[in-house]
């Protein structure tokens, strides 16, 4: 295991540096946008454009890797990201920022695809679980740690933008230095349309859509939300870091809970609990905006619940489809997530402009309440509430990045090795319902 970790250390270091720079940039743009007089509605649209770029990246990443190879593709997109960071402070205008933000989202998600497909090619089956866990840990720590860099300077200066560009550009060095062999690109991959994914696992589609509708605004508009509540830069950094770290701790028990009962029920309960927490956050933001500690604690709980929805949805899909469709099915779920991430920030930003700080948790509340009802109707219609499902895989916390991360899922091997007749029988049962 040690030799394997040493051999892929360059990949972990590269993605750590890249995520630190990109996560710092995401918060920094909101703070700088507020100081430049940009409205909450525009900042929401800016986040939507970022995820639109990410959506386009999911369609083009494989072709780019095939044309350039992993190292050259990583270098190209990292250079694009590094230039984009500096372009934000050179061209300070709404129109320019929209174009730059599109290329930022495009570049970061192509890089995700490069790194994750590379890890898949280098990791032996016996060590997938540990490598996958470390990869998830690196992602979360990089996002949380990046927020502490906000304490170095304020958003109105160039310093933090230069630091973000420095971190992103430095990510090229470990990747370029490595002697790892690049994996072969798989050209022929079975396809699976979104309609087929919905037919096999409608609750998984609903879960990923809701996850995108909520986490898109969370990543893009949280700095604006806490700024309007009067948080200082130090409190802002602590708010986002604790939300991510606290959320990471909470999603494990929620995910393990999904291994012991029907995952669809767990997603529904997560929606309901999230609705209650969002209601509490909205009340605090409206009537007790000075209770920063309480609001931060509620955000950590809320983030943990919502972060668990996407991986539970993916594992639920893994339970329901054939092994040949794992990556294609994951790609479809990612597109659904991307659609939610594209629409959500625009709606939430519009609400923030006209309703104030409490609008963001109120938006969360509305989304979760509406889709809780939709999910209940799905469960009642299929009579799933009365029949627990069999699990072919177990929950493992995962980040939403690219479809290439699914084969790294340590339990995917159990699905791949499951008897063919068992999978066929499960698919028949699913269609019958």
Model confidence pLDDT, tens digit, residues 375-423: 998 888 776 444 445 555 666 666 666 555 655 665 555 544 544 444 4
> Structure tokens of 244?
């991510």
- Mean pLDDT for the chain overall: 82
- pLDDT surpasses 70 at 298: yes
- Quote the pLDDT of residue 282: 94
CB 198 within 8 A of CB 351: no
This model's pTM is above 0.75:
yes
Asked if the model's pLDDT at residue 295 lies above 90, the reply is yes
pLDDT in the model for residue 248 = 79
Average pLDDT of 361-368? 96
Residue 194 has pLDDT above 50, yes or no: yes
Long-range contacts of 1-7 (CB under 8 A, 24+ apart): 1/127, 1/130, 4/122, 4/123, 4/124, 4/127, 4/131, 5/131, 5/134, 7/122, 7/180
pLDDT at 6: 61
> Binning pLDDT at 50, 70 and 90, where does residue 352 land?
confident
- In this prediction, residue 310 carries a pLDDT of 85
Half-sphere exposure of 186 (CA within 13 A, CB side): 14
Percentage of the residues of the chain whose pLDDT score is greater than 70: 79
Most confident region among 217-221, 355-359, 413-417 by mean pLDDT: 217-221
């Amino acid at each position: 295991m040690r030799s394997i970790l040493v051999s892929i250390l360059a990949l972990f270091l590269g993605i750590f540096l890249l995520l630190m720079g990109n996560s710092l940039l995401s918060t920094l743009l909101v703070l700088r946008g507020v100081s430049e007089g940009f409205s909450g509605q525009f900042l929401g649209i800016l986040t939507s454009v970022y995820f639109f770029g990410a959506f386009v990246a999911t369609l083009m990443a494989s072709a780019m890797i095939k044309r350039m190879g992993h190292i050259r593709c990583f270098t190209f997109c990292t250079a694009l990201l590094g230039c984009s960071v500096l372009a934000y402070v050179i061209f300070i205008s709404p129109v320019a920022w929209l174009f730059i933000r599109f290329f930022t989202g495009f570049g970061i998600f192509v890089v995700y695809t490069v790194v994750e497909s590379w890890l898949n090619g280098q990791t032996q089956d016996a060590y997938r679980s540990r490598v996958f866990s470390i990869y998830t840990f690196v992602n979360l720590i990089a996002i949380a740690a990046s927020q502490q860099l906000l304490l170095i300077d304020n958003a109105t200066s160039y310093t933090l933008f230069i630091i973000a560009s420095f971190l992103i550009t430095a990510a090229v060095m470990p990747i370029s230095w490595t002697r790892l062999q690049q994996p072969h690109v798989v050209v022929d991959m079975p396809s699976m349309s979104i309609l087929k994914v919905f037919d096999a696992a409608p609750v998984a589609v609903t879960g990923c859509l809701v996850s995108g509708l909520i986490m898109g605004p969370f990543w893009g508009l949280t700095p604006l939300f806490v700024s309007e509540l009067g948080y200082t830069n130090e409190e802002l950094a602590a708010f986002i870091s604790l939300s991510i770290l606290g959320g990471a701790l909470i999603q494990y028990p929620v995910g393990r809970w999904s291994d012991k009962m029907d995952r669809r029920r767990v997603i529904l309960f997560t929606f309901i609990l999230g609705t209650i927490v969002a209601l509490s956050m909205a009340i605090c933001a409206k009537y007790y905006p000075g209770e920063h500690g309480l609001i931060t604690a509620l955000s950590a709980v809320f983030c943990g619940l919502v972060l668990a929805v996407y991986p539970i949805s993916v594992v639920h899909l893994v339970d329901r489809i054939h092994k040949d469709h794992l990556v294609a099915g994951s790609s479809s779920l990612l597109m659904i997530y991307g659609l939610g991430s594209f629409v959500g920030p625009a709606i939430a930003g519009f609400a923030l402009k006209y309703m104030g700080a409490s609008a963001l948790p109120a938006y969360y509340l509305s989304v979760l309440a509406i889709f809780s009802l939709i999910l209940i109707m799905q469960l009642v219609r299929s009579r799933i509430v009365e029949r627990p499902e069999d699990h072919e895989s177990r929950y493992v916390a995962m980040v939403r990045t690219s479809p290439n991360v699914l084969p790294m899922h340590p339990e995917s091997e159990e699905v791949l090795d499951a008897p063919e007749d068992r999978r066929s029988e499960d698919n028949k049962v699913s269609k019958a319902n």
